[in-house]
């Protein structure tokens, strides 16, 4: 049989609500049992990606920012809509966005073998593009020069140009705060950039004594009359978004009196508070989306840069897990899976699923505790997928033999550091909530999550608080304005799904092993935890802790459920290769379920939907047939059946069924199907 793709994966996350979702593309399914080939082709053309770059191009992820700078109000949303009085702009999270690019650079560098960030300010400072600054300063300089020459009409044209090209709230805010700070307290070698002659004998006081004579020789200097006309000109312009803030930015270079400096201080404080709030709210809204994007990047990163091979393929559902509680949504998903997974045609089959962000067992308990004790430090509650929502989705995916990787929400309790200090108890308690489900052999828990920016390093120094003493004409620097944000992480389900998807490709395995790989077979039977396979095919993750104690490794190997990642010999490797069914005392390894699924689908294809005579032919020991090829090639690392393993079948004529059984080294798995006459 010709090998079809065995690593198509479906991700249940919403990346952009303005793009089509799997549910919207399926549409009305009344009286339908399956979708047409053309509809499946359309769905995969729009929602399927084979690289991180494709994802960015197809889904254009980003966050909409709504600013009212005159009232110092801000909100963020994934949705674009109209709000009267607010400037709306999209912060695109793509390869051109310097914020996301900087975080990706951080991940790629793996400084000192760890995901550590030494300067978080540098990351967030790149939220606003740098290229606008030079153009803005040049046009402002030109405007001031025109007022020096009393060319008001020409000045109006330049001002309109500035409004058209530079009237973005966040850009103006950063410009203003940077320059206002320089005006108020920066002490350069040239006596504070020629603004004031100042007494700087103390470390936290700046006393303006007089206006520098050098300032009057500068191109930006305006006489008292010119400055009056300049300010009057600003006030006379038509109302538009950010007018007050733009006027502040335009006036800054012309400040040349102690009175003006005193008036500037409360304006600076107001906008500094506003900026702090913007960054705080942006991070609250943007962090989950950034983490999803980084997770997808890591999914593809596991495969590397192999040009020819079975590239992992990711179908983005683009709807949230909670929508599956709706019966209509459930029906739509089932019809899609019925079409791609139940037909005797393997090209469109979905093999894997990813459901990230599942709630921990004590999540609700923590929320209730904080509600009762409001005096404690408030924590931000990010949306999570509840046990009920995840359970419904897992049941559907299990019916269609989709092995689904799940991972817990990103908190301090789901990190390598927590695992090292407290063991796997917290994670096992969460998994107990899913014990009552059927088809647990298709559920693959993944743990722990990795850290990109640790919470203890996610501190921003956003400026200095300042007061002005009118009696003594002194500025007092009260200290830095610091903001602590939640750290940034990547869920284990993305990494593990990416690794198992990569291992399906014989080209990937050949790259790792150099020999003893059958290039005609996928890696469905690849035993990642046998011998030293885990070290040969590790994840691409950097270590966050140097090592785990031997006792913890032994506990994980003894009790671990699903895939538990551990640091070992300088790499992060798979320590356990089990399904959730292992909790019930059944020895269910991921590779066994994959192998059984693959054999089942091959038999279905070869026997034309289980025709009895073709089943008997398939199991005949004759040269050239598929079963004999598997039996004769049991020594390759990715052989379907290993040495000592075998297959058998039994036909029940009375009930019209056939049971296929695969005998593994320490267990056996069976599948019963109805025979076609």
122 within some domain: no
Identify the CA nearest to 6 among candidates 635, 506, 397, 581.
Answer: 506
- 629 and 510 assigned to the same domain: no
CB count in 10 Å sphere of residue 5: 18
Residue 214 has pLDDT above 50, yes or no: no
How does residue 13 score in pLDDT terms, banded at 50, 70 and 90?
A: very high
- How many CB atoms neighbour CB 624 within 10 A? 6
Q: Are residues 375 and 514 in the same domain?
A: yes
The phi, psi pair for 633, rounded to 5°, reads -120, 70
106-139 burial, b at 16+ Cβ within 10 Å, e below that, comes to bbeeeeeeebbbeebeebbbbbbeeebeeebeeb
pLDDT in tens, 223-236: 778 888 888 898 88
Residue 210 has pLDDT above 70, yes or no: no
Residue 198 has pLDDT above 60, yes or no: no
Return the C-alpha torsion angle 574, 580, 585, 586, nearest 10.
-80
pLDDT of residue 373: 40
Q: What is the distance between the alpha carbons of residues 245 and 239, in angstroms, rounded to a whole number?
A: 12
Burial-class residue 144 by CB neighbours within 10 Å (0-12, 13-18, 19+).
buried
- Same domain assignment for residues 441 and 466: no
Strands 646-652 and 73-77: unpaired
Q: What is the pLDDT of residues 638-652, one digit of tens each?
A: 999 999 899 999 999
Last residue of a domain, one of 590, 619, 641: 590
- Which residues lie below 8 Å from residue 411, measured CB to CB, with a gap of 6+? 360
How far apart are the C-alpha atoms of 52 and 282, rounded to whole Å?
Answer: 23
Residues 402 and 475 in one domain: no
Instruction: Retrieve residue 128's tokens.
Output: 């606003």
Do residues 520 and 427 both lie within one domain?
yes
Name the domain boundary from 528, 559, 590.
590
Angle made by CA atoms 92, 98, 100, in degrees to the nearest 5 = 65
Residue 165: CB atoms within 10 A of its CB come to 12
Shared domain for 499 and 617, answered yes or no, is no
The answer to whether residues 177 and 271 touch, using CB atoms and an 8 Å cutoff, is: yes
Q: Which residue has the tokens 């000592």?
A: 644
Residues 143 and 175 in one domain: yes
Does 420 fall in a domain? yes
Q: What band does 121 get if pLDDT is binned at 50, 70 and 90?
A: low
For range 377-399, the mean pLDDT: 90
Mean pLDDT of the 19-36 span: 91
Quick one: 437 and 372 in the same domain?
yes
Regarding whether 309 and 176 lie in a shared domain, the answer is no
Indicate if 491 and 622 belong to the same structural domain.
Answer: no
Weakest-pLDDT range from 310-314, 365-369, 425-429, 448-452: 365-369
Does 403 have pLDDT greater than 80? yes
pLDDT digits (tens, 9 = 90+) for 506-553: 999 999 998 999 999 999 999 999 888 999 999 998 777 778 999 999
Same domain, 262 and 367: no
**Tokens at 650, concatenated:** 């039994």
Q: Angle at the Cα of 461 (from 92 to 199), degrees rounded to 5? A: 130
Choice among 300-309, 352-361, 448-457, 489-498 with the minimum mean pLDDT: 448-457
Instruction: Examine the pLDDT at 220 and tell me if it is beyond 70.
Output: no
User: What is the residue whose two structure tokens read 């007061």?
Assistant: 467
pLDDT score for 212? 47
Q: Which residue from 354, 438, 403, 314 is spatially nearest to 592, judged by alpha carbons?
A: 403
The parent domain of residue 311 ranges over 8-15+285-456+487-590
Whole-angstrom distance, CA of residue 286 vs CA of residue 86? 19
Label residue 586 by pLDDT band (50, 70, 90): low
Give residue-wise pLDDT tens across range 170-193.
889 988 988 887 777 654 434 444
d(CA 465, CA 477): 6
Residue listed under structure tokens 């054999």: 599
Predicted pLDDT at 115: 45
Name which residue leads in pLDDT, 185 or 68.
68
Three-class DSSP category at 589: strand
Other CB atoms within 10 Å distance of the CB of residue 186: 13
Q: Is the pTM of this model over 0.85?
A: yes
Cα torsion angle, 355, 361, 365, 370, sign: negative
Query: How many angstroms separate the Cα of 196 from the Cα of each of 217, 218, 223, 224, 463?
Result: 13, 13, 16, 16, 21
Strands in 48-49's sheet, in edge-to-edge order, are 48-49, 313-316, 8-11, 352-358, 403-408, 443-447, 563-568, 571-574
- Provide the CA 629 distance to its chain's centre, in angstroms: 43
Q: Count structural domains, the chain.
A: 3
Per-residue model confidence as pLDDT tens digits over 590-638: 999 999 999 999 999 999 999 999 999 999 888 888 888 898 888 899 9
Residue 279, pLDDT score: 87
C-alpha–C-alpha distance, residues 134 and 449, integer Å:
42
């Amino acid at each position: 049989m010709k090998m079809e793709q065995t690593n198509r994966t479906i991700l249940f996350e919403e990346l952009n609500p303005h793009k089509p979702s799997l549910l919207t593309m399926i549409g009305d399914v009344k009286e339908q049992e399956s979708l047409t080939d053309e509809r499946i082709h359309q769905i995969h053309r729009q929602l399927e990606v084979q690289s991180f770059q494709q994802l960015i191009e197809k889904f254009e992820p980003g966050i909409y920012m709504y600013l009212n700078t005159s009232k110092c109000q801000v909100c963020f949303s994934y949705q674009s809509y109209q709000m009267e009085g607010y400037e709306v702009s999209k912060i695109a999270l793509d390869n051109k966005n310097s914020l996301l690019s900087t975080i990706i650079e951080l991940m790629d560098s793996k400084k000192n073998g760890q995901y550590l960030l030494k300067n978080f300010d540098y990351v967030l400072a790149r939220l606003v593009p740098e290229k606008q600054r030079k153009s803005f300063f040049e046009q402002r300089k030109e405007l001031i020069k025109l007022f020096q020459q009393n060319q008001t009409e020409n000045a109006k044209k330049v001002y309109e140009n500035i409004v058209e090209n530079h009237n973005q709230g966040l850009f103006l805010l950063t410009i203003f705060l940077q320059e206002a700070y320089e005006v108020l307290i920066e002490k350069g070698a040239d006596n504070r950039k020629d603004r004031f002659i100042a007494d700087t004998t103390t470390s936290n006081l700046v006393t303006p004594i007089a206006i520098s004579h050098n300032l009057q020789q500068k191109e930006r200097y305006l006489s008292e009359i010119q400055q009056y006309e300049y300010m009057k000109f600003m006030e006379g312009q038509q109302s538009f978004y950010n007018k007050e803030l733009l006027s502040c930015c335009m006036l800054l270079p012309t400040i040349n009196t102690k009175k003006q400096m005193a008036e500037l201080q409360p304006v600076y404080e107001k906008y500094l508070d506003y900026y702090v709030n913007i960054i705080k709210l942006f991070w609250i809204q943007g962090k989950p989306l950034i983490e999803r994007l980084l997770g997808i990047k890591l999914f593809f990163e596991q495969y590397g840069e192999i040009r020819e091979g079975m590239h992992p393929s990711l179908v983005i559902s683009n709807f949230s897990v909670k929508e599956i509680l709706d019966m209509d949504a459930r029906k739509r998903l089932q019809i899609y899976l019925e079409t791609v997974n139940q037909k005797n045609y393997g090209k469109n089959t979905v093999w894997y699923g990813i459901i990230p962000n599942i709630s921990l067992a004590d999540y609700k308990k923590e929320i209730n505790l904080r509600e009762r004790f409001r005096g404690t430090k408030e924590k931000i509650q990010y949306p999570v997928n509840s046990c009920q929502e995840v359970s419904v989705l897992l049941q559907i995916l299990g019916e269609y033999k989709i092995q689904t990787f799940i991972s817990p929400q990103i908190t301090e309790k789901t990190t390598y550091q927590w695992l090292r200090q407290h063991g796997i108890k917290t994670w096992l308690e969460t998994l107990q909530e899913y014990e009552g489900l059927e088809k647990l052999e298709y559920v693959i828990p993944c743990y722990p999550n990795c850290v990109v920016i640790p919470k203890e390093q996610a501190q921003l120094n956003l400026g200095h608080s300042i007061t002005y003493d009118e009696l003594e004409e002194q500025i007092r620097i009260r200290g830095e304005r610091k903001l602590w944000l939640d750290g940034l992480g990547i869920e284990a389900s993305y990494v593990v799904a990416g690794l198992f998807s990569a291992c399906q490709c014989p080209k990937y395995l050949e790259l790792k092993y150099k020999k003893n790989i059958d290039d005609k077979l996928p890696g469905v039977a690849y035993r990642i935890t046998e011998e030293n396979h885990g070290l040969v095919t590790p994840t691409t993750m950097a270590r966050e802790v140097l090592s785990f104690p031997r006792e913890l490794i032994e506990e994980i190997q003894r009790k671990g459920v699903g895939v538990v990642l551990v640091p070992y010999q300088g790499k992060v490797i798979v320590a356990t290769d089990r399904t959730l069914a292992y909790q019930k005392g059944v020895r269910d390894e991921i590779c066994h379920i994959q192998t059984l699924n693959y054999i089942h689908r091959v038999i279905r294809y070869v026997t034309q939907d289980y025709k009895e005579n073709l089943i008997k032919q398939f199991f005949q020991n004759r040269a050239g047939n598929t079963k004999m090829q598997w039996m004769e090639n049991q020594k390759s690392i990715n052989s379907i059946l290993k040495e000592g393993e075998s297959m058998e079948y039994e036909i029940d004529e009375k009930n019209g069924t056939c049971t296929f059984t695969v005998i593994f080294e320490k267990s056996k798995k069976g599948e019963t199907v109805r025979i076609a006459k």
